Chains A and B, each alone.
Chain A
Amino acid sequence: MNKIFYIAKEEIKILFREKIFFTLLGVFVVMSLISSFLGFMATNTTTSIYNSSVKFLIQKGINNIPPNPMLSFGALTDFRNIIIYMFLIGALLAVVIGHRSFIRERKSGVLPILFSRPISSNTLFFGKALGIGITIFSIILSAFLIGILSSLLLPYRHLLFDDILRLIIFYIFSFFYLLFFGFVGLLFAIKTKSESLALFIPICIWVGISFVLPEIISGQNPTALLNPIAMGQVQVQNSVFFSLMQTYLQPFSIGGQYTSFALQLINNTSQTSLINVILNNLSNITTLFISIIGTSTLCIYSINKNNIGKDEIYE
């Protein structure tokens, strides 16, 4: 057990000294800030227009004034952009973290020493997994704190207990979603000797999960898929092809399932209770966990099969 912690500690120590990690983390943090700001600006602009309209209507003697449309969205609506940043940049960052985790060993040439030490493949994987997990958790935590802080600093936001709970569940689910991508990055770094190929394959998988599958299944156009407000509201193309694709590919569309669950958590706070949102998405949650377990198993199998001398040494 101790060895798992040593490996994880080393993993984090090295990662936090790499420029590429800080670059991506910086982009993600800035995006989280922009997300909060954009959410606030959208609410602020709509509310300002609404207030002007109310003033105008009162001046005209009209008393039957409709409520502020922003109120129907709930306080969490300002967080809706973070879904997309998590879905795109967060997942990509996780791929890079997982990829660096093992490719670093291969590139630095420490693999022969590492594999000649009394550590099992399970220990090595769980150490790496813990390191990746803690790193992703720290990123998620920073995004969460930025969101909460901005909600305290910016007006119009009054987060209730239910909102905070939804937000916590959203970030926990996002953590596991990113962890899956971290393991995908790790898997191909273990399996593939070429550094560029080891990054190219997970990025292809990321593209497939983030864009291709959700598009094929939903029949929506790609820009609609990237719009957190339009998601789920855009008219889908109705055809036999999309219907078949939905039936057979839906279980594999982890990205589509993630956005669907995240949207239900964040966008429709007043329409469905939290417990119902969770119950309605049990299959999505299960799929994600099965994917994580599957990828972990493949990682352990690949480390076991990694006949290190065969790959690294030839004489």
Chain B
Amino acid sequence: MNKTQNIISISNLTHIYKNKKALDDLNLEISKNEIFGFLGHNGAGKTTTISILTTLLKPTSGNAKICGFDVVKDSMEVKKLIGYLPENVKFYDNLTAYENLEYFAKISGIKNPKEKIFDILKFIDFEGIENKKIGEFSKGMHQRIGIAQAIIHEPQVLFLDEPTSGLDPMGIKKLREIIIKLNKEKQMTIFMNTHLLSEVAKVCTTIGVLNSGKLIYKNSLKETLKRFNNENSLEEIYFNIEQ
């Protein structure tokens, strides 16, 4: 697969919750090795999109493919290719960090995950917490274990839903470093839902803006900054796009 090949393809994706149209004919393509920042206000449809892409939700109409596999028809294949960090990730509080990771590794098909777990914890600079119970973890620690569970099976695409939500500045900085490291060293394509423009500016290579279930803008961060060079900040650009 070359660098320009689309790893995520979404065509005419629509999702309706009862009477509310959460996604309205969404079309989106994301290339391999991108860090895609999916921007939008609360209720714009970002989590619905990520839920469909991670096979948790069946769309009302349209289709989405990950590495050529349809998220509805080939959901098992898709699940092998993706890692997912939900917003407010939680684990089994009664189990230790190691036991939680071991469980998710095993159900992902890794038979002897011990070495892998220690490698991943080293990779995210989170060693020495293996035997601590998750119930004792802070929000930031939860997020890092969340990242560890999401990448333990070395997925090609990593979905992050508001990964920095509720983190302190140090936690945000650490998570940002991990995301960039994953993209650079493990060549993971990253799809990140966020409403924090500062995050997008520091991490993403491409941005998309969703408004009321419709994609209203998509371009590389570089092009975006060039196009809106009269604006002082990404925030102003965002408001400009939204209007």
A residues with CB within 8 A of B? 2-3, 6-7, 10, 13-14, 17-18, 104, 108-110, 112-120, 307-310, 312-315
Contacts and interface: CB of A to CB of B under 8 A. Distances in A.
Interface of B: 17, 22, 42-48, 51-52, 54-58, 76, 79-80, 82, 84, 86, 88-95, 99, 103-104, 106-109, 111, 149-150
Given A17-B94, A310-B17, A112 B56 contact: yes
A108 B80 CA distance: 23
Q: Chain A interface secondary structure, helix, strand, loop or mixed? A: helix
A70 B89 CA distance: 62
B199 to A, nearest CB: 17
B47 A313 contact: yes
Contact of A108 (B46, B51, B58, B90): B90
B108 A118 contact: yes
A109 B89 contact: yes
A309 B56 contact: yes
Contact of B79 (A3, A7, A118, A308): A118
B88 A109 contact: yes
A310 B108 CA distance: 23
Contacts of B47: 309, 313-315
11 contacts: A17-B94, A109-B88, A112-B84, A118-B80, A118-B107, A309-B48, A309-B57, A310-B17, A310-B57, A313-B51, A315-B47
Contacts of B76: 118, 120
A312 B48 CA distance: 11
A315 B44 contact: yes
Q: Which of B46, B51, B94, B104 has the most CB of A within 10 A?
A: B51
Nearest to B146: A113
Contacts of A104: 92
A116 B111 contact: no
B48 A313 contact: yes
Given A6-B107, A108-B90, A118-B107, 18 more contacts: A2-B106, A104-B92, A109-B90, A110-B90, A112-B54, A113-B104, A113-B150, A116-B54, A118-B108, A118-B109, A309-B47, A309-B56, A310-B17, A312-B56, A313-B47, A313-B56, A315-B42, A315-B45
Contacts of B86: 109, 112-113, 313
B149 A113 contact: yes
B94 to A, nearest CB: 4
Contacts of A117: 79, 104, 107-108
Contacts of A307: 56-58
A116 B17 contact: no
Contacts of B56: 112, 115-116, 307-309, 312-313
A217 to B, nearest CB: 42
Contacts of A110: 90-92
B145 to A, nearest CB: 11
Contacts of A7: 107
A198 B66 CA distance: 36
A14 B94 contact: yes
A2 B94 CA distance: 23
A191 B159 CA distance: 27
Nearest to B84: A116
Contacts of A108: 90-93
Contact of B92 (A14, A116, A313): A14
Contacts of A314: 17, 47
Nearest to A108: B90
Nearest to A127: B107
B79 A116 contact: yes
A313 B17 CA distance: 11
A18 B90 contact: no
Q: Which of B17, B55, B56, B90 has the most CB of A within 10 A?
A: B56
A6 B103 contact: yes
B89 A13 contact: no
Contacts of B108: 117-118
B90 A10 contact: no
Given A315-B44, A315-B48, A6 B57 contact: no
A211 to B, nearest CB: 34
A315 B46 contact: yes
